[in-house]
């Protein structure tokens, strides 16, 4: 439906009467032709009336002549002739900035002599370089493939040993779950140019700090490969099976706890390693049918996955230590209650804090209480050193605890670690020294938050670097604090300008790859933080000397000059008083369409996009041109994103309100924002929609339920949870406790009142049948409720065998085509009530 063609049809309808009634005076045939003219006029009048009625009906349906006067804009150009953002140029990467990553290398002397070594690939040459010494270059391998015993292998992953003498290479990689893979692993000796094969179908292989040993996992058992002996020398475990995982996570630990494919950690010198033993025998099994894997299949393929749903048995996880010298493995006492096997603890993090000491964190299954154990490996004992309640919130799982070694010359009299803890309701850095200390030294404080935890430590200068929200919760700046000067926070990036930064540090913490991610076009630079010189012109960093730019994205800047990209306006919305009478102030941004005209009355549709999950964030000032900009450009819609209560980086109280009642406050805040936008003179309050995926899909349905058609007229829900009993235990119980403990909360949080959703004009539901994360079961149960209550104001799109990302067999193209076209139909009034 192109606007130009539609307007041309309207003009033709208007032109016909002028041509019919055009007559010249004094025509001698006038009297003779008058009856014929009348007849013609009657016929044409009937045709015109029919066409006019049809045109009016069509205009009523497509919105061009509705009360608001809304018309679909020109899809290609703005009024001044600039190119518009389209789904096509978003898909082809027109607006994607080029960003590079450095594989920093930690050598045995990195902590005392940081040369800024990193691994890179240039013209198919794998080489180690130094950001400090431009002349340093050590070629490790030439090419992207190799031959072994007459067979050619493509290199998928290459990891250098700490001493740079050998390479660990993965080939024939097969993806498993979100983070995990299987593959064949080889060792390449730089000195001899010789390959040795470790094995096939390995799920993990990790260098020891000694550069000689490799711990690997095959068929869920751990083995030791010796580069010195050029063979596997030990089998560490023998109970690995489809139910018992050694050194690698099962599904729920990979997805929700470790967020990684490894559950094995070497000690600093390689004399020991710690690993998880995960027994999921008691975990319930969920079967997923696959329908379109092969053209030859006439029956569905059934794949089962051990998936602990809320309130059902979790996997039993134990922490084990392996001592290489004695070839001995033993289980660490971390408080597991054998008398309560249905409710095992969660083992969330392991950090070595010396060659023979480590700390490990555990929580109860609902993340109410955090317990930190100090483990003395040489003595083979453990003790709980602190136990802390979440005080009505929950303990988020972290992975950034940072080991700080002893160094008396730098004032560090004992080994210790830097962690994150709530300080007066906000997440901040704390320092524990010695490592078994029960009380911390508070390093940062204030009504702002440290993001993720410590980013790096300069072992020589005693400085901890971190990203924080000190300036604004919608920004990320790099800061520093010295262990000897707690609470004296120094800015590293320029806080006088809005910015979102990321940082990747060299092994010794001296050099940093600073990535500026927005709001303007991203760039990357390498900075020497210990330099006595500083930059003459401040661009990003206010501390340190810029050595060079890794990426400026000049091509993207040039390309953007051709386009009129709708800009984001970041703002704080006051949604009115809460239950206690205090104002609810939330972060938000809006994208106004091209050629926006605020004098128009009841004209613009509003497209809300939401995620809204606990401790999440969408309102962040990074650079991005994506589907939201497409909606604004192609549909002349105002796009609004609101991070309501429950989202992160605004303190413990703001996010913990949603505990035990997911979907309540989050939906209220979306509705309050919709009410504000619906009251604007230039907004058509009958064309307010909400779109979300995953938790956002859940929030979309929950908001439609609570709103009952009052403000949100349309909704698009992709891969939603509809009943929290169906989702995994680790995520759900962190925010809801178990269904047994909180039955009323689960009942209220489910999407159940479908007759209320029926008051919306229409909604769209989409899901992949192969979703191993949010099972298709959620949407099927919801559809059954719709049938039972005779609700029919919806459309459904199913994607065979697609997982949670919905990409299988061109599905990702189709889903965004459908979202755009469905929204266009909604805004042009083409859905029949």
Provide mean pLDDT across the span 515-542. 92
More confident residue, 787 or 2: 787
Average predicted confidence (pLDDT) for the chain: 89
φ, ψ of residue 77 in degrees (nearest 5): -135, 150
- Looking at residue 338, what is its pLDDT? 58
Residue 557, pLDDT > 60, answer yes
User: Using CB atoms within 10 A of its CB, is residue 800 exposed (0-12), middle (13-18) or buried (19+)?
Assistant: middle
If pLDDT is split at 50, 70 and 90, which confidence band does 503 have? very high
Residue 17, pLDDT > 60, answer no
More confident residue, 9 or 280: 280
Catalytic residue among 62, 494, 707, 771: 771
Weakest mean pLDDT among 31-40, 103-112, 149-158, 517-526: 31-40
- Looking at residue 23, what is its pLDDT? 31
- Looking at residue 341, what is its pLDDT? 57
Element (H, E) at 49: helix 30-62
Contact 452, 433 (CB under 8 A): no
Could you please report the per-residue DSSP string of 196-220? Answer: EEEEEEEEEEEE-TTSSEEEEEETT
Residue 53, pLDDT > 70, answer no
Provide mean pLDDT across the span 48-56. 39
In a domain, 98, yes or no: no
d(CA 106, CA 278): 30
Given the structure tokens 């805004």, which residue do they identify? 827
Catalytic residue among 433, 694, 717, 750: 694
Angle formed at CA 411 by CA 409 and CA 412, multiple of 5 degrees: 100
User: CATH no. for residue 740?
Assistant: 3.40.50.1820
Cis peptide before 519 (omega within 30 of 0): yes
d(CA 649, CA 643): 10
- Looking at residue 8, what is its pLDDT? 33
User: Using CB atoms within 10 A of its CB, is residue 587 exposed (0-12), middle (13-18) or buried (19+)?
Assistant: buried
Closest by Cα among 380, 447, 375 to 417: 375
In a domain, 204, yes or no: no
Tens-digit pLDDT profile for residues 78-89: 989 999 999 999
Residue 790 annotated as catalytic: no
d(CA 586, CA 100): 33
- Looking at residue 209, what is its pLDDT? 94
In a domain, 660, yes or no: yes
Residue 483, pLDDT > 70, answer yes
Residue 724, pLDDT > 90, answer yes
Tens-digit pLDDT profile for residues 161-205: 998 899 999 999 998 888 999 999 999 998 899 999 999 999 999
The tokens of 658 are what? 């949603």
Residue 578 annotated as catalytic: no
- Looking at residue 46, what is its pLDDT? 43
The tokens of 34 are what? 């008058």
- Looking at residue 12, what is its pLDDT? 32
- Looking at residue 759, what is its pLDDT? 97
In a domain, 51, yes or no: yes
**Residues in Cβ contact with 238 at an 8 Å cutoff, skipping those fewer than 6 apart:** 221
Residue 616 annotated as catalytic: no
Distances (CA, A) of 276 to 20, 263, 283, 334: 87, 6, 17, 12
Tens-digit pLDDT profile for residues 602-644: 999 999 999 999 999 999 999 999 999 999 999 999 999 999 9
Provide mean pLDDT across the span 587-611. 96
φ, ψ of residue 816 in degrees (nearest 5): -75, -30
In a domain, 280, yes or no: no
Tens-digit pLDDT profile for residues 753-768: 999 999 999 999 999 9
Contact 827, 63 (CB under 8 A): yes
**Residues in Cβ contact with 8 at an 8 Å cutoff, skipping those fewer than 6 apart:** none
- SS3 at position 274: strand
- Looking at residue 697, what is its pLDDT? 97
Tens-digit pLDDT profile for residues 729-749: 999 999 999 999 999 999 999
Residue 160, pLDDT > 50, answer yes
Closest by Cα among 213, 248, 247 to 233: 213
**Residues in Cβ contact with 340 at an 8 Å cutoff, skipping those fewer than 6 apart:** none
Residue 1, pLDDT > 90, answer no
Question: Looking at the 3D structure of the chain, how many domains does it have?
Answer: 2
Catalytic residue among 428, 711, 767, 804: 804
If pLDDT is split at 50, 70 and 90, which confidence band does 137 have? confident
In a domain, 14, yes or no: yes
- Looking at residue 68, what is its pLDDT? 55
Give the domain range for residue 655. Answer: 568-827
In a domain, 800, yes or no: yes
Closest by Cα among 648, 677, 644, 662 to 578: 644
In a domain, 532, yes or no: no
In the sheet that holds 181-189, the strands lie side by side as 157-160, 166-175, 181-189, 194-207, 213-218, 221-226, 231-235
Tens-digit pLDDT profile for residues 308-353: 999 999 999 999 999 999 999 999 999 876 556 566 899 999 999 9
Residue 264, pLDDT > 90, answer yes
Tens-digit pLDDT profile for residues 443-459: 999 999 999 999 999 99
């Amino acid at each position: 439906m192109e606007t130009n063609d539609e307007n041309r049809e309207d003009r033709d309808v208007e032109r016909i009467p002028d041509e019919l009634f055009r007559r010249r005076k004094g025509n001698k045939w006038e009297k003779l032709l008058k009856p014929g003219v009348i007849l013609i006029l009657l016929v044409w009048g009937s045709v015109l009336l029919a066409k006019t009625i049809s045109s009016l009906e069509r205009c009523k349906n497509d919105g061009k002549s509705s009360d608001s006067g809304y018309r679909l804009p020109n899809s290609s150009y703005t009024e001044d002739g600039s190119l518009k953002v389209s789904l096509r140029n978003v898909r082809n990467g027109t607006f994607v900035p080029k960003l590079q990553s450095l594989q920093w290398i930690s050598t045995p002397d990195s902590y005392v002599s940081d040369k800024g070594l990193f691994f890179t690939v240039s013209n198919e040459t794998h080489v180690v370089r130094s950001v400090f010494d431009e002349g340093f270059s050590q070629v490790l391998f030439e090419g992207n493939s190799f031959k072994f015993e007459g067979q050619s292998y493509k290199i998928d992953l290459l990891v250098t040993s700490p001493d740079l003498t050998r390479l660990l290479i993965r080939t024939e990689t097969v993806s498993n779950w979100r983070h995990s893979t299987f593959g064949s692993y080889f060792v390449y000796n730089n000195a001899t140019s010789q390959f040795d094969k470790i094995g096939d179908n390995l799920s993990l292989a990790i260098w020891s700090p000694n550069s000689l040993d490799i711990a690997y996992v095959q068929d869920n058992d751990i083995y030791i490969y010796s580069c010195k002996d050029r063979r596997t020398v030990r089998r560490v475990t023998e109970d690995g099976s489809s139910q018992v995982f050694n050194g690698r996570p099962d599904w729920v630990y990979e997805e929700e706890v470790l967020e990684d494919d490894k559950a094995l950690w070497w000690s600093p010198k390689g004399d020991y390693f710690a690993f998880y033993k995960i027994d999921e025998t008691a975990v319930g099994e969920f079967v997923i049918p696959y329908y379109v894997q092969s053209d030859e299949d006439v029956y569905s393929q059934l794949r089962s996955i051990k998936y602990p749903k809320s309130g059902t048995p979790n996997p039993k996880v134990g922490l084990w230590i392996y001592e290489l010298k004695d070839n001995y493995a033993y289980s660490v006492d971390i408080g597991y209650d054998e008398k309560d096997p249905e409710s095992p603890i969660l083992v969330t993090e392991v950090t070595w804090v010396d060659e023979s000491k480590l700390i490990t964190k555990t929580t109860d299954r609902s993340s109410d209480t955090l317990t930190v154990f100090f483990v003395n490996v040489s003595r083979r004992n453990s003790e709980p050193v602190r136990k802390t309640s979440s005080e009505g919130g929950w303990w988020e799982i972290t992975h950034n605890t940072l080991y700080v070694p002893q160094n008396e010359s730098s004032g560090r009299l004992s080994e210790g670690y830097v962690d994150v803890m709530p300080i007066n309701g906000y997440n901040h850095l704390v320092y524990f020294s010695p490592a078994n200390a029960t009380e911390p030294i508070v390093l940062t404080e204030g009504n702002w938050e440290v993001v993720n935890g410590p980013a790096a430590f300069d072992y020589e200068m005693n400085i901890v670097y971190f990203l924080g929200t000190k300036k604004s919760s919608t920004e990320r700046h790099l800061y520093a604090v010295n262990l000897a000067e707690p609470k004296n926070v120094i800015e590293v990036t320029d806080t006088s300008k809005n910015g979102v930064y990321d940082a990747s540090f060299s092994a010794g913490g001296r050099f940093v790859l600073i990535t500026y991610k927005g709001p303007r076009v991203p760039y990357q630079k390498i900075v020497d933080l210990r330099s006595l010189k500083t930059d003459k012109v401040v661009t990003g960093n206010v501390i340190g000397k810029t050595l060079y730019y890794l990426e400026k994205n000049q091509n993207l800047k040039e390309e953007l000059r051709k386009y009129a990209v709708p800009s984001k306006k970041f703002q704080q919305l006051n949604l009115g008083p809460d239950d206690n009478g205090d104002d609810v102030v939330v972060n938000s941004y809006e994208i106004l369409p091209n050629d926006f005209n605020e004098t128009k009355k009841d004209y613009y549709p509003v497209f809300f996009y939401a995620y809204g999950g606990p401790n999440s964030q969408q309102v962040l000032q990074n650079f991005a041109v994506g589907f939201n900009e497409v909606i604004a450009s192609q549909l002349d819609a105002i796009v609004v994103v609101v991070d309501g209560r429950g989202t992160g980086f605004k303190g413990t109280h703001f996010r913990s309100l949603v505990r035990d009642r997911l979907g309540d406050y989050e939906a209220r805040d979306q509705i309050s924002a919709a009410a504000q936008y619906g009251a604007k003179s230039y907004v058509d309050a009958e064309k307010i929609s909400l779109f979300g995926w995953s938790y956002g899909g859940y929030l979309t349905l929950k908001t439609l339920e609570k709103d009952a058609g009052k403000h949100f007229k349309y909704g698009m829900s992709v891969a939603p949870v509809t009943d929290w009993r169906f989702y995994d235990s680790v995520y759900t119980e962190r925010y809801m406790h178990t269904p047994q403990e909180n039955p009323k909360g689960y009942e209220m949080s489910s999407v159940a009142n479908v007759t209320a959703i029926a008051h919306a004009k229409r909604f769209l539901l989409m899901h992949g049948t192969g979703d191993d994360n949010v099972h298709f079961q959620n949407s099927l149960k919801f559809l059954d409720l719709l049938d039972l209550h005779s609700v029919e104001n919806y459309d459904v799109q199913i994607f065979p065998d697609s997982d949670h990302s919905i990409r299988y067999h061109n599905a990702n193209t189709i889903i965004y085509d459908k979202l755009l076209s469905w929204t266009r139909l909604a805004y042009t009034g083409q859905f029949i009530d």
